[in-house]
Amino acid sequence: MSDYGLDSWTVNAPLTGVCVERGGQFAAFAGGDGCVRTVSLVEPESSLSVWPLTEGAVLALTPDCQEGGFLCGADDSTLYQVHPNDGPRELALLTRSWPDQLVSHPCGLRAVSDGPEVRLLDAEGRLVTVLAEHPSTVAGLAFDDGGRRLAVSHYNGVSLWTLDRRSREPQRLCHRGSHLDLTWSRNGRFLVTATQEKTLHVWDLAAGQDATLGPCINKVKALSWSADGSWLLASGADTVSGWSFSNGRLPAAAPHMLGRYSEHLIGNVSANPSLALAAAGYNDGGLELVSLAVQPQRRRLVSAPGSPIAGLAWSPNGDHLLGGDKDGRLFAYRFDTDSLARLACTD
Amino acid sequence: MTQRVPVTVLTGFLGSGKTTLLNRILTENHGQRIAVIENEFGEIGVDQELVINADEEIFEMNNGCICCTVRGDLIRILGNLIKRRDKFDRILVETTGLADPGPVAQTFFVDDETRESFDLDGVVTLVDAKHAELHLDTSEEAASQIAFADVIIINKIDLVDTDALDALKRRLRSMNLMARIEQVEMADAPMEQVLNVGGFDLDRALELKPSFLEPEYAFEWGGVLRLDGKAKFRLQNGPDPVMSAVLEPIRAATTEALMETAERVYTRFSAPGEVLQPGATMSPGETLWTLTLTDADQYEYTLEADQPGLYALFTEHTPEEFDAGFYGDSGADIDVATEHFFNPEHTHDDTVGSIALELEGDIDGTALNAWMGQLLQTRGPDIFRMKGILAIAGEERRFVFQGVHMLFDGQPGNAWGDQPRASRLVFIGRNLDEAELAQGLRNCRAR
C-alpha cells in the first residue's frame, strides 16, 4: 500500500497526547514541553502551529465539546481550551490536583478530574456541578454515547453518575483494585475498565453481571472499540488483543490475538472509526494496520522502528491517522479510502 | 535504556525533624533539580521548583495477598512527571509520620512503567533520640519504618545522654541489621548520607557491613574484672526475676579480647544453667549460672577465682538494668576495666527484628525456589524486607536478590572466582523464627 501521504515533524518533546477535533479539520499534539501543536488536515502542506501553555508538561488532550476546539490539562493545574486559529484560553484552575483526566460530549459538557472530585463545565466554561467525593483520585472518565451518564473510575470500582436526574448519589460498581482508563460500549450496555493488575474488568449493566478479562502481558494503556462495535481492542500484548462483544453477552476472559506476534509489545491501539481495521503502535516505534474482518488478519508495516509510540488517533471519517513517539517524532498519514477498505475486507 | 531517575523515600516518626531535614536538603547548593512529593500534612515552606501534594492513597492488589498494598497515587504522579521533557535529577517522597513504608516500596516492584523510569534509591528513616523508644514501644508503624530503612538518622542526639543513645542504637540495630545508622543534632545530616543510598540497588544489595554477621548473642553485656580472691556482685531488682551469667578467664582487658572470649562462651548460654540462690558463689569455667533475683530488695553473689587475674563476666542483661555493682572484700568498688554491650535480642520484646543466615557451599536452585515460594506465601505479610547473595549449584556467578513482602527481584551478579562459595541472607520482619528459617535454608543445600 503506497497510496498514502505522510507528513512528519520532529519536535524536541515527548508526545503526551494526540487527537482530532470533532469537525475533523484539525489535529493536535500535546507535548512534554508544555506546548500544544495544531495542524490542519484539510489544507495542503499546512505547518504546525505551536501554542505554549506551561513550563512543565501537557498531561491530557481531548476533543472539546464543540467542533474546532481542543481541551488540554497541564501540570500547572490549569484546564485550557485551544483553538487552532485563536490559541489557548484558560477554562479553569484546579485546587486539588492535576487535570489529567478530561472528557467532553457534543451536547456541550466537559468533565475534568480534580483529585477525587470531578468538575462538570458547560460549553461556555461555567461550572455546572462538582461530583464528589470519590473513594480515591479519579483515574478515568467516560460519557456514554448520549451524554446522559458519566462513568468515573477509581480504587475499587466505578461510580456511575446519571446527569439529568441531578442525583446526588452515583451508582457504585464495585470490584477490588485500582481501576484506570475506562470506556463504554456503543449501546451503553457494557462498561470496561483497565486495571493496575494488567487485566480488564467489564460490567454488563443490563444483566447486572461483571467479569475480569485477561490478563495481558502489560498494563493496558489503550482501549478502542471497532467501527461496528463488535470488538474491544486493547494494547498490552505482543499482538492486538481483542474481545468479541458481537453476541451481546460478556465475552470470554482470554483475548483473541489479532494480527501476527511481534517481538515487541503494543503500547497503543486505535480502531478505525469506519472500517474493520486498527492501527497498532509498538514499543520499538513500529506501526502497523491490522485488519479485523478477514482470516487470516493482514498487517502492513507503515513505519520503521524508533522509540515507543506514545499516541495514536484517527480522524472521525477514518482517512487520517495521527500519532507520535516518546522522542517527539510526530506523524500524520493521509490514506486513500479505497485502499484502506481493501485492506479491511479482502485478502 | 535512558537513565532512571532516583527516588528517595523520607520517613520518620512525628516530630523527628523530617521537615527540617527536607528543607536542608532542598536549600543546600547541590545544583540538582529535585521534585518533592509531599504528604497531605506536609508544611514545606521553601521555594522549590515542584512540590506535589499526595494523598497517600493505598490500594490492595487483587492477587490474594493482604500485604500487597501499593501507592496508586505515586504511580500516577510519577507517570505524569516522566512526561516532562525537562526531567528531574531526583525525586523525594515524604511520608506521614504514621505511614508504613511498605506500600511505597512495593509500588516500585509492582508497576513496570514506574520501575522503567524510576529507581528506588533507598528508604531514609529519621528518629528523634528522645522519643524514639516510646514510639517504638507503642507504634507498629514506627517499628515498620525502622524495619524498612536503608539509613536510620537519629536526630536530636544532644537531648539525650550517651547511655540512652547507645541503648537506642542497640535496639535499632537489633531490629534492622542492614541499615546504616547516623546520628545528628539539628537534622543536619549531610546530603550524601540521605541521597544515593543504593539500598534497593541489587549490585550494592549486600555490601555487608561488619555488624551484619555479628551473631545474635544471648547476653547483653560483657565486662572485664581483675579478681584476686573473692569479689561481691551486688544487684537490685530489675526487669527479670532470673539472669544467666558466665565467668571466664580472659587474656587482656581489651574489647578485642572480650569479643574473642564472647565467641568462645556464647554456646554455653543455650545449655541449661545451674540455679544459684543469693549468697552463692560463681566460679570461672564451663557452667552457665542462673542467678535468682526475686523475693528481696537486694541480692549478693560471690565471684571467686582460684588464680588472681583478669576475668570476663557475661550477663544476660546489662548491670545498669539491675543497678548492679562489684565490690571487694573490704567493701571498696571494683572497677570494670573494659565492657562491651552486645546486641540484645530480648530487651524490649520487639516483635520486629532481623535475622542473618549464612550457608557455606552451594544451594540447589529448585529447592530454593520451592522454599521461597512457600515461605512468601505463608509468611509474606511478616517479612518486610529481605536481601541475599546466593551460591547456586552450577552457576558461576553470584545470584543477588531482594524483596519486599511477597514481591522480589533478582539477577546474576559478579562471578565467584576464587572466593569461597557461600549464601548469605538477611530477613527483616515481624515474629521471625530464626531456627525455622535456618532449617529452611539448610534444606536447600545442594547434594
pLDDT in tens, chain B (447 residues): 468 999 999 999 888 888 888 888 888 777 888 899 988 665 555 555 678 888 888 888 877 677 789 999 999 999 999 999 988 999 999 998 888 899 999 999 889 999 999 999 999 999 999 999 988 988 888 999 999 999 999 999 999 998 889 889 989 988 888 888 888 888 788 777 788 888 777 666 555 443 444 555 778 899 999 998 889 999 999 888 999 999 999 999 988 888 889 888 877 887 788 999 999 999 998 899 999 998 888 999 999 988 899 999 999 988 988 999 999 878 888 889 888 887 654 455 678 888 888 888 999 999 999 999 899 888 888 999 988 889 999 999 999 888 898 888 888 988 998 888 988 888 999 999 888 999 999 999 998
CA distance A23 to A36: 18
Instruction: List the single residue in B59, B110, B113 with the smallest CB-CB distance to A155.
Output: B59
State which residue of chain B sits closest to A308, comparing Cα positions: B1
Q: Which CATH architecture has domain B352-442?
A: 2-Layer Sandwich (3.30)
Q: Does B294 touch chain A (CB under 8 A)?
A: no
CB-based contacts of B58: which residues, under 8 Å, 6+ apart? B69, B70, B71, B72, B103
Flag if A156 and B59 touch (Cβ within 8 Å).
yes
What CA–CA distances, in Å, run from B99 to A147, B9, B96, B199?
41, 11, 5, 19
Q: Does A13 touch chain B (CB under 8 A)?
A: yes
Which of chain B's residues have a Cβ under 8 Å away from the Cβ of A116?
55
Flag if B83 and A14 touch (Cβ within 8 Å).
yes
CB atoms inside a 10 Å sphere around CB A304: 9
What is the 8-class DSSP label of residue B362?
-
Q: Does A29 touch chain B (CB under 8 A)?
A: no
Q: Does A217 touch chain B (CB under 8 A)?
A: no
All domains of chain A in start order, with CATH: 14-133 (2.130.10.10)
SS3 sequence of chain A: CCCEEEEEEECCCCEEEEEECCCCCEEEEEECCCEEEEEECCCCCCCCEEEECCCCCEEEEEECCCCCCEEEEECCCEEEEEECCCEEEEEEECCCCCCCCEEEECCCEEEEEECCEEEEEECCCCEEEEECCCCCCCCEEEECCCCCEEEEEEEEEEEEEECCCCCCCCEEEEEEEEEEEEEECCCCCEEEEEECCCCEEEEECCCCEEEEECCCCCCCCCEEECCCCCEEEECCCCCEEEEECCCCCCCCCCCEEECCCCCCCEEEEEECCCCCEEEEEECCCCEEEEECCCCCCCEEEEECCCCCEEEEEECCCCCEEEEEECCCEEEEEEECHHHHHHHHHCC
Q: Does B47 touch chain A (CB under 8 A)?
A: no
Q: Which CATH class is domain B5-201?
A: alpha beta
Q: Does A57 touch chain B (CB under 8 A)?
A: yes
Instruction: List the single residue in A14, A100, A218 with the smallest CB-CB distance to B85.
Output: A14
Flag if A16 and B83 touch (Cβ within 8 Å).
yes
CA distance B272 to A20: 82
Which of chain A's residues have a Cβ under 8 Å away from the Cβ of B62?
176-177, 195, 197
Where are the strands (E) in B28-187, listed by range? 34-39, 50-54, 58-60, 69-71, 90-94, 118-128, 151-155, 180-183
- Which residues of chain B are in CATH 3.30.1220.10 domains? 352-442
Q: Does A33 touch chain B (CB under 8 A)?
A: yes
Q: Does B63 touch chain A (CB under 8 A)?
A: yes
Q: Does B57 touch chain A (CB under 8 A)?
A: yes
ipTM field: 0.94
- Which residues of chain B are in CATH 3.40.50.300 domains? 5-201
For chains A and B, count residue pairs whose Cβ atoms are closer than 8 Å. 67
Q: Could you tell me which of B347, B341, B338, B343 has the C-alpha nearest to residue B355?
A: B343
Substitution target from A153, A196, A217 for chain B, most B beta carbons within 10 A: A196
Instruction: Provide the grid cell at B401.
Output: 536478590
Instruction: List the single residue in A100, A155, A195 with the smallest CB-CB distance to B80.
Output: A100
Q: Does B61 touch chain A (CB under 8 A)?
A: yes
